[in-house]
């Protein structure tokens, strides 16, 4: 019975591996330009990869919940969880960014001849994820907040990009296959993961409004954002989360 939480963790890892397989599937048509409007096609099925990462995030939550419920916490479970998270929220999202960069360069003249070196910055995501998780595993302090961006949060915001491109406007699509936008996004997310910036967690010790004001503000902001922005609400909430954490950082210590 004590191995049940670990089975959830392995399912997390399995979904991360499937996400990578979806991302690696190639096709002939990368994108098509119809007049002045971008028409983007994803033959690599990275939208399915994005959904697998979202599923891995749900399972990642459940394995901790089940472990606490069954009082089956273990050192092996902790290490297995970190190894799974590196794949599901580090390597798989890194591959999504690699493919988005490939699409971005393919839209340029002679872009298909671009060296893979220009797509390599996407690998900063799995490297930062591994660093963040290794630091977390040896951290013996007991904080009520995160030190740096949690790896699953980074993976989820990256996973939202293909879905935004698929269902968003032509302007949003064009922005998401802009190389400099992608490079900037990679540097920000990787930098936040390895940073020691205090960011709020959602572990409620009590439900007092004053003590949990930033958490309640984020929850209240999420409802109109989801209704109005749909998939674009994911990066919007990500930015709001960072800003609220910085604004109320004195309450997180």
Whole-angstrom distance, CA of residue 126 vs CA of residue 106: 24
Residue 43 phi/psi, 5° resolution?
-65, -20
Report residue 30's pLDDT band, with 50, 70 and 90 as the boundaries.
very low
Q: Is the pLDDT of residue 236 over 90?
A: yes
4-196 classified as CATH 1.20.120: yes
- Residue 167, CA distances (Å) to 39, 47, 102, 193 in order: 11, 11, 20, 28
What is the pLDDT at residue 61? Answer: 86
What is the pLDDT at residue 28? Answer: 44
Q: Tell me: the pLDDT tens digits for 122-149?
A: 999 999 999 999 998 887 776 677 889 9
* SS3 call for 196: coil
Q: Is the pLDDT of residue 34 over 90?
A: no
Locate the domains of the chain by residue range.
4-196, 201-253
Report residue 37's pLDDT band, with 50, 70 and 90 as the boundaries.
very low
pTM of the entire structure?
0.87
What is the pLDDT at residue 15? Answer: 96
Higher pLDDT, 104 or 64: 104
Is the separation of the CB atoms in 195 and 148 below 8 Å? Answer: yes
């Amino acid at each position: 019975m004590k191995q049940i939480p670990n089975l959830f963790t392995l399912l997390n890892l399995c979904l991360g591996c499937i996400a990578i397989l979806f991302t690696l599937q190639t096709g002939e048509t990368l994108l098509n330009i119809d007049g002045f409007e971008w028409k983007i096609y994803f033959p690599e099925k990275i939208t399915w990869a994005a959904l697998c990462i979202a599923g891995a995030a749900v399972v990642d939550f459940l394995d901790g919940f089940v472990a606490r419920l069954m009082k089956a916490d273990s050192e092996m479970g902790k290490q297995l969880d970190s190894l799974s998270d590196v794949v599901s929220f580090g390597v798989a999202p890194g591959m999504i960014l690699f493919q988005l960069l490939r699409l971005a360069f393919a839209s340029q003249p002679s872009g298909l001849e671009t060296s893979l070196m220009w797509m390599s910055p996407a690998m900063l995501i799995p490297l930062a994820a591994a660093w963040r998780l290794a630091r977390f595993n040896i951290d013996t302090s007991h904080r009520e907040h995160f030190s740096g961006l949690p790896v699953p949060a980074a993976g989820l915001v990256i996973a939202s990009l293909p879905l935004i491109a698929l269902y968003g406007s032509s302007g949003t699509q064009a922005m998401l296959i802009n190389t400099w936008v992608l490079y900037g996004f990679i540097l920000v997310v990787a930098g936040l993961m390895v940073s020691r910036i205090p960011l709020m967690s959602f572990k409620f010790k009590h439900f007092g409004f004053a003590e949990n004001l930033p958490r309640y503000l984020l929850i209240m902001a999420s409802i109109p954002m989801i209704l109005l922005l749909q998939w674009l609400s994911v990066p919007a909430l990500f930015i709001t989360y960072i800003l609220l954490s910085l604004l109320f950082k004195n309450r997180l210590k």
